[in-house]
Amino acid sequence: MDENAIRQWLIDCFGPIQGETAWNQLSNMPEAVRDQLMSQDPSTLPKPEEVKSMMQAFTAGGLNTMGDIQHVAEQGPINIKLAKSLALQKANGTGSDANVSAENGEIARRAISEANLWLDTACEFDPAQGETQLLTRAGWVESTLDSWAQFVSPVAESMNDALASILSQRFGDGEIQPEISGIFAGPVEIPIPDDMKDPAKLMRFVGNTSFAMQLGRAAGDLSHEVRGSFDQGIALSKNPAGGLIVQNVVEYAKSLDIDVSEVMGYLALQELAHARLFASVPWLMPRFEALLGKYARGIAIDMDAMEEQIREAESIDPDSMASAVNITKVAFPDTPEQKQAMASLENLLALVEGWVDAVVWRAGMAHIPHIEQLREMLRRERAIGGPAERTFESLVGMQLRPKRMREAAALWESIGAKEGSEARDAKWSHPDLLPQLPDEQSQDNADGATEAANATDAATDSNKQDAAASQEVLDSIDWDAELTKLLDEEEHKHDVSSDADGSDETDGESGTDGDETDSGSDGPQSPEES
């Protein structure tokens, strides 16, 4: 890389004064470190605008001094302020509306009001307390990020511990050397406090910040895709009545070429049905949280895989670590307990989404002309994996999908048709009353079939052994001798038959008596006679 090019890049990123300071700092680094940095392809450098945004996010995240860094590292496994700052930058990016327009707001409010009326006729649950919000993308980030952080904290804790352990071994037990500290200092040289020169502590900060950057970027990307606060199938918003991200709903309607009032009405039904369910079933969200926590706490980090990812990182700084260390690349395969938690999560999520699907169809079928098309589109999005699935996979390492949503919807519709909506919704009063999906019910049959198959295999093995034994007997027979013996017996029978024919001719007409005698000889014999 040309020295003048990197110098100009630093000035563009940090301004003339701080840029020159950063260039001098780079020039004073050890030759090996400087050569490594200068050998990079200029095209791989982030754009100056991106660097400025990152610096603004770090400032907003409370990372102005190394004292702030020490404080943040001690607060928890994720710097939530930094994550929120990064997410808001993406949410407020190009093309995002700062406010909900009056026209779209009126459409959304009318859709919410009608959806509540329609749901009153389709389910027994009362509306959730509060008012359904009309959100911007930034408003969605503000409303849900704390919940995201809560779910991913156990994974972040494991990642931070592993990162600190590996990098402590690399640096040893000594203090961070001044030339190495420049890697973390950024464009302005900041002295590292004595109690932060411990590699383990400093690496915890790197992990803390890296995971915050991953979470912030993921939430920022999600803000452009989600259309309601319950799009993930679980309650993430602080507002129990939920909310619609109006701009995203409008853009979704345009992409489908369906009137925005119809799409807004359908998605309002989806949002409010979720809100009623979670508000009326107090055990539902705690159950989700427990299962998510059980899965996340069971994650074990493959230290060798993590070290390999770190080796491939361009440098040891939070941004590089955020790209290099990914839970999907460094976690061991799921344990039996994790698989059980995953299965329970998928079943519960399918039952939730299936109930909402069935209720929304019944509530809106007479009011939304394109409800079948909208219903099918949403089902397909769930099947292939939407925003929630990608976020959980990248941050928690799980693929959370309602794989049996169609079966669950058909099951709820069947229960409603046979027993009525009151009996259908009463099944949410306790987890043990929830209906089982068809493949869950057939699990016992599958286990029985497995046992039968094992028994069949055992019988087959026995038959094979018997056949082998029979073959040994057949192989031991002297077939020539047996054939000679058989021919001799046949010749003897022929001689006896000839003698008998001659006797019949001598007897003349006494054949009738002989028949009677033969007939009598066929009768039962006494033990003495036999």
Quote the pLDDT of residue 159: 76
> Sign of torsion, CA 282 283 287 289?
positive
Average pLDDT on 250-277 reads 97
Report whether 26 contacts 34 (CB < 8 A).
yes
Read off the DSSP letter of residue 427: G
Q: Is the pLDDT score of 399 beyond 60?
A: yes
131: left (phi over 0), alpha (psi -120 to 50) or beta: beta
Quote the pLDDT of residue 281: 97
**Could you give the C-alpha distances from 73 to 304, 342, 484, in angstroms and in order?**
25, 31, 99
Q: Is the pLDDT score of 103 beyond 60?
A: yes
Summarize the chain as % helix, strand, coil (round to 5): 70, 0, 25
Average pLDDT on 195-222 reads 73
Q: Is the pLDDT score of 157 beyond 60?
A: yes
The beta strand positions in 440-485, using DSSP E, are none
pLDDT interval class at 259 (50, 70, 90): very high
Q: Is the pLDDT score of 496 beyond 50?
A: no
CA distance 260 to 107: 8
pLDDT interval class at 250 (50, 70, 90): very high
Tokens of 392: 């959980």
Helix (H) or strand (E) holding 435: none
Tokens of 76: 């928890």
pLDDT > 90 fraction of the chain, expressed in percent and rounded: 35
What amino acid occupies position 370? Answer: H
CA distance 313 to 325: 9
Average pLDDT on 259-277 reads 97
Higher pLDDT, 423 or 488: 423
Read off the DSSP letter of residue 301: B
Higher pLDDT, 474 or 345: 345
Q: Is the pLDDT score of 51 beyond 90?
A: no
CA distance 188 to 510: 137
Quote the pLDDT of residue 513: 43
Higher pLDDT, 314 or 393: 393
Distant-in-sequence, close-in-space partners of 101: CB < 8 Å, separation ≥ 6: none
Read off the DSSP letter of residue 219: H
Quote the pLDDT of residue 463: 47
Quote the pLDDT of residue 347: 92
In terms of DSSP H, where are the helices of 172-259? 178-185, 199-222, 246-256
Report whether 134 contacts 100 (CB < 8 A).
yes
Quote the pLDDT of residue 395: 72
What amino acid occupies position 114? Answer: E
* Burial of residue 266 (number of CB atoms within 10 Å: 0-12, 13-18, 19+): buried
pLDDT interval class at 273 (50, 70, 90): very high
Quote the pLDDT of residue 453: 44
Q: Is the pLDDT score of 16 beyond 90?
A: no
What digits encode the pLDDT tens for the residues 442-469?
A: 544 444 444 444 444 444 444 444 444 4
pLDDT interval class at 6 (50, 70, 90): confident
- Among 27-36, 223-232, 279-288, 490-499, the range scoring the smallest mean pLDDT is 490-499
Quote the pLDDT of residue 213: 83
Tokens of 319: 């941004």
Higher pLDDT, 342 or 462: 342
Q: Is the pLDDT score of 280 beyond 80?
A: yes
Average pLDDT on 211-226 reads 86
Quote the pLDDT of residue 381: 84
What digits encode the pLDDT tens for the residues 285-323?
A: 999 999 988 888 888 878 788 777 777 665 555 566 665
What digits encode the pLDDT tens for the residues 412-422?
A: 999 999 999 99
**Could you give the C-alpha distances from 462 to 450, 468, 474, 523, in angstroms and in order?**
18, 10, 19, 42
CA distance 135 to 100: 7
Quote the pLDDT of residue 85: 87
Q: Is the pLDDT score of 190 beyond 90?
A: no
Q: Is the pLDDT score of 266 beyond 90?
A: yes
CA distance 134 to 104: 10
Higher pLDDT, 290 or 151: 290
Q: What is the mean pLDDT of the chain?
A: 74
CA distance 140 to 228: 9
> Tokens 């939730």 label which residue?
352
What digits encode the pLDDT tens for the residues 27-48?
A: 776 666 567 666 766 666 666 6
Quote the pLDDT of residue 319: 60
Quote the pLDDT of residue 8: 76
CA distance 135 to 237: 11
Q: Which of 48-62, 212-226, 346-360, 457-471 has the highest mean pLDDT?
A: 346-360
CA distance 362 to 309: 51
Average pLDDT on 240-244 reads 96
Can you give the length of the chain in residues?
A: 530
Average pLDDT on 431-442 reads 80
CA distance 264 to 261: 5
Distance of CA 481 to the CA centre of its chain: 74
Phi, psi at 303, each rounded to 5° = -65, -35
Q: What is the pTM of this model?
A: 0.69
Report whether 316 contacts 167 (CB < 8 A).
yes
Distant-in-sequence, close-in-space partners of 88: CB < 8 Å, separation ≥ 6: 138, 141, 142, 220
Quote the pLDDT of residue 67: 47
* 480: helix, strand or coil: helix
Cβ neighbours, 10 Å, residue 451: 10
508: left (phi over 0), alpha (psi -120 to 50) or beta: left
Quote the pLDDT of residue 153: 84
Tokens of 293: 């926590």
Question: 102-120 vs 260-280: helix axis angle to the nearest 10?
Answer: 50
